């Protein structure tokens, strides 16, 4: 490219008709420009127009020079024909080739494109102006000058100017970035040392150079909170001196919410939290055991639950829970016994039995429960047996059934003081037994031809009329007579019945 630039500043070597050579070059450039497209069409158009005018002017001057030269030569021959010295030849320098011009144009376009893509946004940004307004102005001016040179056809100088602008931009951007990093490091160091004024100064400078930096914005927020943090640090120290653990914890939490990176304070907060947890746990265990001793179940449960919430796996908490459970069971048994006593006093032995059974399931070894359960079971069993006899009193006419009923009545005698209802029922059953034990006179009538018997009792024989005695109950009388069908009669003898009679006659021949 240096060779091309050097060659571009020299004129061509063609001796004949320089204007024609320039016009030819102009025509060649025009032909090239018709096919040129790229990054800067406006620059190309301006360059084409300027080049065309310049070459046309040079061609015109060349023609005039040639013509003038010929006239002067003729005049010289006329005036000084005696002189034999030839006129000096015109020095025509070598013109750049079409390929060289194209290369320079493309180099300029590439330089502009790279500048606009990589550098211009930073250069034109407000932070860059804050950083160095003079350099910002110089770079903008250099770019504009390069475009003017390009438009004027001075491609080599345009490329040089553009490259110098880009180099200056890179240097200043690098210096600006270094200043930003330096300010950030200084702000961070000052912040770590709790030096608010210095930290604020450096972070302000860093943000002026890179206002959109997330890291700078985050550090700025921390620095802005530093006065409050330092106030909390002081409050923490005062609380520690005064042995105000709760106050110290409160201030430490507020401080770490603003600045969570203070590891030493984190450790202190953790130690204090564990310390207070231990104290609270011990207090709940102590108070819970005291509540158990006072048989205050609600109080004990409150402290037990609180202790379990703090340290759920501690043996002290498990012991308190065990004692609380034992207290709750003991109190439950007491309530069951109280309800059972009330039921027994109200002669509600079936209800008392259920309550005592529940109490026995919790504390089967307690004598009071065992004795009460035994009494309740006896009374309820005897009561049920009496109900069965009284529900079918006719069965009491049978000796074995009556014997069983009498045994129940006899057994219940000792329990009468405990259950008036059982005593009344026993008396009722006793009366029924007495009724079924008293025989009733029954008059049996017949035709004196029929043999009569009472099934399960005995023979009546042939009779016109005979009185027999039967206990209350249901009987079957059977009559038999040779040559006649047998007959059966059912007789119900009620307790205390009077004037009971029945006729049994076989009068249907076979």
- Burial track 4-38 (b if 16+ CB lie within 10 A, e otherwise): bbebbeeebeeeeebbebbbebbeebeeebeeeee
| Judgement on whether residues 399 and 479 belong to the same structural domain of the protein | no
Q: How high is the mean pLDDT of the chain?
A: 83
Which of 406, 434, 462 is the C-terminal boundary of a domain?
434
| Judgement on whether residues 1 and 120 belong to the same structural domain of the protein | yes
CA nearest 120: which of 136, 105, 101?
Answer: 136
Q: Does some domain include residue 18?
A: yes
| Judgement on whether residues 413 and 491 belong to the same structural domain of the protein | no
- Residue-wise pLDDT for 468-482, tens only, equals 999 998 899 999 999
> Quick one: pLDDT at residue 249?
93
Does the pLDDT of residue 42 top 80, yes or no? no
| Judgement on whether residues 166 and 26 belong to the same structural domain of the protein | yes
Higher-scoring residue by pLDDT: 305, 61: 305
| Judgement on whether residues 371 and 496 belong to the same structural domain of the protein | no
Does the pLDDT of residue 219 top 50, yes or no? yes
Which of 160, 192, 224 is the C-terminal boundary of a domain?
192
- Residue-wise pLDDT for 178-197, tens only, equals 999 999 999 999 998 989 99
What's the 3-state SS for 237-274? HHHHHCCCHHHHHHHHHHHHHHCCCCHHHHHHHHHHHH
> Quick one: pLDDT at residue 96?
75
| Judgement on whether residues 359 and 487 belong to the same structural domain of the protein | no
| Judgement on whether residues 163 and 52 belong to the same structural domain of the protein | yes
Q: What CATH number is associated with residue 473? A: 2.60.40.1120
Angle between helices 98-118 and 18-34 (to 10 degrees): 40
> Quick one: pLDDT at residue 164?
94
State if pTM tops 0.95.
no
Q: Strand 440-445 to strand 465-470: parallel, antiparallel, or no bridges (unpaired)? A: antiparallel
Q: Does some domain include residue 117?
A: yes
CA distances from 370 to 132, 353, 363, 365, 405 (A): 103, 11, 10, 7, 28
> Quick one: pLDDT at residue 38?
40
DSSP letters spanning 139-162: HHHHHHHHHHHHHTT-HHHHHHHH
User: What residues contact 357, with CB distance under 8 A and at least 6 apart?
Assistant: 373
CA nearest 402: which of 433, 378, 426, 357?
Answer: 433
- Residue-wise pLDDT for 373-415, tens only, equals 999 999 999 999 999 999 999 888 888 999 999 999 999 999 9
Q: Does some domain include residue 311?
A: no
| Judgement on whether residues 50 and 149 belong to the same structural domain of the protein | yes
| Judgement on whether residues 17 and 159 belong to the same structural domain of the protein | yes
CA pair distance 15, 464, nearest whole angstrom: 191
CA pair distance 451, 458, nearest whole angstrom: 12
> Quick one: pLDDT at residue 37?
40
Mean pLDDT of 132-158: 93
Give the position of tokens 């065990």.
322
| Judgement on whether residues 380 and 413 belong to the same structural domain of the protein | yes
Give the position of tokens 């024909």.
81
User: What residues contact 129, with CB distance under 8 A and at least 6 apart?
Assistant: 136
| Judgement on whether residues 2 and 140 belong to the same structural domain of the protein | yes
**4: which 2 tokens?**
């091309």
Per the CB < 8 A criterion, the answer to whether 317 and 285 are in contact is yes
Does the pLDDT of residue 56 top 60, yes or no? no
| Judgement on whether residues 387 and 473 belong to the same structural domain of the protein | no
Q: Residue 115: give the domain boundaries.
A: 1-80+88-192
> Quick one: pLDDT at residue 92?
52
Q: What is the CA radius of gyration of the chain?
A: 66
Which of 136, 159, 192 is the C-terminal boundary of a domain?
192
Q: Does some domain include residue 246?
A: no
CA distances from 15 to 4, 6, 51, 72 (A): 22, 21, 22, 18
DSSP-based three-state secondary structure for 212 = coil
471: DSSP letter: -
* Region of poorest pLDDT, from 10-19, 36-45, 235-244: 10-19
Q: Does some domain include residue 254?
A: no
CA pair distance 496, 213, nearest whole angstrom: 119
Count of residues in the chain: 510
Q: What are phi and psi of 465, to 5 degrees?
A: -165, 125
Q: Does some domain include residue 334?
A: no
> What is the helix, strand, coil percentage profile of the chain, to 5?
70, 10, 20
Q: Does some domain include residue 404?
A: yes
Q: Does some domain include residue 300?
A: no
CA distances from 68 to 18, 72, 74 (A): 14, 6, 10
Count how many domains the chain has: 3
């Amino acid at each position: 490219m240096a060779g091309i630039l050097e060659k571009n500043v020299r004129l061509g070597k063609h001796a004949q008709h320089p204007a024609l050579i320039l016009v030819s070059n102009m025509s060649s450039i025009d032909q090239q420009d018709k096919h040129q497209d790229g990054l800067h069409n406006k620059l190309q158009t301006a360059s084409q127009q300027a080049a065309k005018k310049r070459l046309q002017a040079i061609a015109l001057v060349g023609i005039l020079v040639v013509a003038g030269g010929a006239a002067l030569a003729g005049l010289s021959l006329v005036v000084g024909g005696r002189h034999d010295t030839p006129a000096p030849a015109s020095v025509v320098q070598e013109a750049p080739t079409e390929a060289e011009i194209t290369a320079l144009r493309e180099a300029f376009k590439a330089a502009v494109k790279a500048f606009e893509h990589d550098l211009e946004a930073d250069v034109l940004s407000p932070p860059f102006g804050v950083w160095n307004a003079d350099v910002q102005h110089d770079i903008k001016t250099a770019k504009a000058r390069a475009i003017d040179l390009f438009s004027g056809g001075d491609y080599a100088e345009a490329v040089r100017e553009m490259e110098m602008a880009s180099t200056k931009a890179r240097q200043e951007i690098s210096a600006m970035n270094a200043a930003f990093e330096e300010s950030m490091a200084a702000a961070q160091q000052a912040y770590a040392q709790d030096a608010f004024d210095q930290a604020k100064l450096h972070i302000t400078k860093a943000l002026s150079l890179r206002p959109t930096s997330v890291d700078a914005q985050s550090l700025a927020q921390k620095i802005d909170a530093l006065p409050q943090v330092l106030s909390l640090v002081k409050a923490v120290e005062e609380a520690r001196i005064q042995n105000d653990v709760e106050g110290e914890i409160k201030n430490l939490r507020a401080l770490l919410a603003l600045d969570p990176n203070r590891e030493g304070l984190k450790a202190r907060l953790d130690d204090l939290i564990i310390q207070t947890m231990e104290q609270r746990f011990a207090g709940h265990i102590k108070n819970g055991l005291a509540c158990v001793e006072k048989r205050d179940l609600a109080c004990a449960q409150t402290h037990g639950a609180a202790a379990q919430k703090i340290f759920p796996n501690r043996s002290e908490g498990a012991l308190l829970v065990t004692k609380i459970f034992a207290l709750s069971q003991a109190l439950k048994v007491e309530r069951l016994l109280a309800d059972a006593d009330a039921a027994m006093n109200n002669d509600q032995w079936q209800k008392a039995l259920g309550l005592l059974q529940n109490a026995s399931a919790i504390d089967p070894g307690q004598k009071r429960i065992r004795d009460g359960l035994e009494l309740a079971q006896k009374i309820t069993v005897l009561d049920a047996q009496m109900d069965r006899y009284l529900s079918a009193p006719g069965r009491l006419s049978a000796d074995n059934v009556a014997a069983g009923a009498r045994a129940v009545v006899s057994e219940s005698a000792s329990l009468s003081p405990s259950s008036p209802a059982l005593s009344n029922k026993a008396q009722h059953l006793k009366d029924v037994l007495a009724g079924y034990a008293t025989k009733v006179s029954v008059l049996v009538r017949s035709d004196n031809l029929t043999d009569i018997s009472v099934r399960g009792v005995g023979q009546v024989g042939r009779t016109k009329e005979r009185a027999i005695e039967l206990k209350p109950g249901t009987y079957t009388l059977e009559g038999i007579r040779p040559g006649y069908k047998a007959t059966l009669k059912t007789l119900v003898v009620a307790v205390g019945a009077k004037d009971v009679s029945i006729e049994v006659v076989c009068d249907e021949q076979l």
